[in-house]
Structure 1
Amino acid sequence: MAYSGLNLGNVKNQNRSSILKLLNDHGPMPRKDLSARLGLTPASLTTLCGELLAQNILFELGEVQQEDKRAGRRKILLGINYAYRHVLSISIEAPATSVTLCDLRGEHCITRRIPTDTSVEPEVFLKRVANVGKALLWENSIGREELLGAGVSVPGPVDREKGVSTHAYRVWDQPVQVTAPLAEALECTVLLENNVKAFAQAELIYGLGRTEENLLLLKWGPGVGSAIIAQGRIYESRMYKSAEIGHVRVEKNGRLCRCGRHGCLETRVASHPIARHLRQVCSPETTPLLWAAVGGRPENITVHNLDTLAALDEPAMWEALDADIEVLADVVGSCLTMFTPDHLILYGYMFKLPHFREKFLAACKRYDPAYDENYIRVSELAEKLEYIGPLAVVTNELFYQG
């Protein structure tokens, strides 16, 4: 059998990827520092950087200010040109879908939102989404050649290779081909990912994952989602399944979950069950402040006014909610004990509500005093939730690994 030799093309691509990831994680650097950090010869590094500069992927930021003024070769900082290409980031959720035009850093973004219409066939809705994306490109004078690709995130499991959403909870009950119709309409590469795993990818590229290798992410909102980052990689099984903390059973004979099982954590602590629990305890005798806040109509309690109701100093109401929050903290604490990540990263609608966030942190501290505000952190990307995940999926595969 003939020896095929070293694949120089692959080595070159790996080195190119290493340069871009190092600059993304640590900021602009001179060539000498890049060479030392990556273990590349100065000649190889100069050649690779020269090609990236010629492609407008890198650019020179100017000379490094040095205290030592002795004669020698000047150090010129190199940085990533995040305006090199644009990405369409599409987040399909219930009740709204966001379509965002982004640069490669997730800044200078323009977002359009449309209702997620589940009354029409999925292909009809996806055509609407594509039309919104095309309008954003046209209005901002972005040609197809300036588009790196489009990323799509959906709730629930997906088949990434086939571009199929197998069950987008609260959106589609049946498998839906997502990438093919969008790719045809947008005339670009389209990548699909589960929404929680997409956000985990964003944490790796734009968040704490740039400096920490082991993280547990927790999303608390209409659902309860999680992702594990171990040694700088998102954990998933061969079936593209990842950590499903929301489907840990907490009640033996609990409510039917959207996953088909009974008593899952989501059925107890997601935002809609929390609102339902408040409706159950709302009465003029036990929760007079809550009763007055909703005009004596418990049916007025919804996920949309939880922020207002959470500010009430209503002991009986919080006694009920504290029990739910304690359940969530116990499950999370068990996961932290098992996986021992460097940090727990929080995001999602419920963590935006100060009272819920503070009570969750307090419950985690009761579980283990080491779980303090330094160990448990709200993601610095939380305000970019509607677009940062799909963006990261595209940049990871088509830019940093491209």
Structure 2
Amino acid sequence: MNDCGISKLDLKRRNRMQILKVVREQGPISRVDISAILGITRAAVTIITNEMIDQHILQEVGEEPVNPNAEVRKGRRKILLDINETYKFAIGIYVDEKEISIGLTTLNAAALDKKSITHKADMTPEALAELLGTTLEKMLQNSCLTYENLLGIGVGIMPSAFEMMGGSTTDTGCPTFPVLQKALEDSTRLPVYINSAVTEFAMAGVHYGDLHAKAENQVFLYWDSGSYRAIPVSGNAPILPAGSDDAFVEHICVNPAGARLEGYPKGSVRAELSAAAVAEKIRPVFSEEQTPTLYAALEGDLSRLTPASLLAAAETDTALQPVADETIKQFCVMLHTLYCLYFAEHINLYGFGFTPEHLEQIRKAAAEFAGKDFAQAIILCPIGERYHFLSGCTYLIQTGFYQRGGLCS
């Protein structure tokens, strides 16, 4: 007997995954339209979707609305299907060097409960598992749910907390947390999915709370200890392979006549836009007399400079305006390069501390540089600080539900 090829279970999971993907992006949608999009026979789609309805993964939500301008058709109108977002619920955990964030959501990443706990960089995997146990019991009681209603646990850990959580790196560059994984599985008996919180924020996508978000290319750009890092994403999956250097963005040239730095091209992001580089441009005027707002915000320490603090202070410190204007222009050059390089529909900014007013300031400069379409593609990460746990929830939902075709067991 030939054991090569795809197994029946893998084929079933693949077909269900494709159907869930179409419903997620196009729904509510009929079986006939699913068949046309996927190129699967109507009979096969009916068998699969009926099984998923019996399992409460999908639900019928009524007939197709009547279009008064369309040609009148004979026969019964199409029955539309949609994802049952309360089929299962997700637990998300976010961990950094100061805070633990735990939350409970639906499959639509709609938050039902949340809790934040501060710590002194002394959290251990075992202590986190114990903390989750007591927190989870209360959350389930508050929402009248049980462990059987849960899809699993998604955990996002910031790089600054990798060592604290016993993290290591595989040969392919992926982070792994065996001690934490075992502690959480032993205490909850639930599937556990752990990854870098930064990667999870990127995979969460632009429309993390939109059940029918269409897949798109985007670049997740984040600020990390004074430098820039980027994760290009297609749909919900990173474009670059695991372990790729996310600091490649710092090699982008933003000023051909700019400064040189060993290992980087002339006028690179690293040489022109890093916190250290911008601080050197500010240093000649940095004083309590000439830049009082920035001086007070940084407590006289330029090493604490961030893009947001520069833009905020430049509103009143006129001596900073030339540097702020130059920084914004070069920032737009960097964003436009990423926008073109990855055919991005959005550039998603995280960790910069920008306010909506700062975003509009950046967009104005971007529109002057490369047009309104590019300017509107620049957005702030929609996951706010109080909802960091959503990174874990969306990662769990993507990997533990959609990529498994809803086969959670």
Q: Say whether residues 1:244 and 2:239 are aligned partners.
A: no
- Aligned-partner Cα distance in 2 for 1:213–1:116: 37
Measured at CA, do residues 345 and 298 of structure 1 come closer, stay the same or move farther in structure 2, by a change above 3 Å? same
Question: Which residue of structure 1 lines up, in the alignment, with residue 24 of structure 2?
Answer: 24
Q: How much does 1:84 deviate?
A: 0.5
Q: Say whether residues 1:112 and 2:128 are aligned partners.
A: no
Question: Which residue of structure 1 lines up, in the alignment, with residue 138 of structure 2?
Answer: 135
8 Å CA contact 1:207–1:379 kept in 2: the answer is no
8 Å CA contact 1:96–1:115 kept in 2: the answer is yes
- Aligned-partner Cα distance in 1 for 2:73–2:364: 56
8 Å CA contact 1:85–1:103 kept in 2: the answer is yes
- Aligned-partner Cα distance in 1 for 2:57–2:247: 37
- Aligned-partner Cα distance in 2 for 1:44–1:398: 24
1:399 maps to amino acid: F
Deviations 1:297-350 (A, max 9, x none): 5369887x949944842212343444554554444444445x242334223243
Greater Cα offset, 6-15 or 81-90:
6-15
Greater Cα offset, 110-119 or 364-373:
364-373
Give the match's secondary structure for 1:313.
coil
2:239 to 231, 235, 248: 235
Q: How much does 1:199 deviate?
A: 2.1
Q: Say whether residues 1:150 and 2:153 are aligned partners.
A: yes
- Aligned-partner Cα distance in 2 for 1:38–1:136: 39
8 Å CA contact 2:359–2:379 kept in 1: the answer is no
Question: Which residue of structure 1 lines up, in the alignment, with residue 389 of structure 2?
Answer: 387
CA RMSD of aligned residues (A): 4.3
2:44 maps to amino acid: S
Aligned ranges 1:24-43 → 2 under 5 Å: 24-43=24-43
Aligned ranges 1:264-343 → 2 under 5 Å: 265=270, 269=274, 282-288=286-292, 290=294, 298=300, 306=309, 309-310=312-313, 312-326=315-329, 328-337=331-340, 339-343=341-345
- Aligned-partner Cα distance in 2 for 1:129–1:23: 33
TM-score, normalising length: structure 1: 0.76
- Aligned-partner Cα distance in 2 for 1:95–1:279: 31
8 Å CA contact 2:291–2:317 kept in 1: the answer is yes
Q: How much does 1:149 deviate?
A: 0.7
Q: How much does 1:24 deviate?
A: 0.8
Q: How much does 1:59 deviate?
A: 0.9
Question: Which residue of structure 2 lines up, in the alignment, with residue 58 of structure 1?
Answer: 58
Deviations 1:83-133 (A, max 9, x none): 000111111124322111010111143211111431354543453244333
Q: How much does 1:247 deviate?
A: 5.6
TM-score, normalising length: structure 2: 0.75
8 Å CA contact 1:101–1:109 kept in 2: the answer is yes
Q: Say whether residues 1:397 and 2:399 are aligned partners.
A: yes
Question: Which residue of structure 2 lines up, in the alignment, with residue 192 of structure 1?
Answer: 194
Measured at CA, do residues 204 and 367 of structure 1 come closer, stay the same or move farther in structure 2, by a change above 3 Å? closer
Q: Is there any run of 5+ residues in structure 2 with no aligned partner, and where?
A: 170-175, 254-258, 263-267, 405-409
Larger RCO, structure (CA 8 Å, separation 6 or more): 2
Aligned ranges 1:60-99 → 2 under 5 Å: 60-66=60-66, 67=68, 71-99=74-102
Greater Cα offset, 282-291 or 183-192:
282-291
- Aligned-partner Cα distance in 1 for 2:81–2:403: 19
8 Å CA contact 1:269–1:328 kept in 2: the answer is no
2:116 maps to amino acid: R
- Aligned-partner Cα distance in 1 for 2:39–2:382: 31
Measured at CA, do residues 129 and 207 of structure 1 come closer, stay the same or move farther in structure 2, by a change above 3 Å? closer
2:61 maps to amino acid: L
Deviations 1:239-276 (A, max 9, x none): 5335334665998679xxxxxxxx98499646x99899
Aligned ranges 1:168-179 → 2 under 5 Å: 177-179=179-181
Q: How much does 1:22 deviate?
A: 0.8
Identity percentage over the alignment?
23
8 Å CA contact 1:344–1:377 kept in 2: the answer is yes
Count of aligned pairs: 380
Greater Cα offset, 37-46 or 227-236:
227-236
Deviations 1:345-375 (A, max 9, x none): 2232436424543444455456645773234
Measured at CA, do residues 177 and 320 of structure 1 come closer, stay the same or move farther in structure 2, by a change above 3 Å? farther
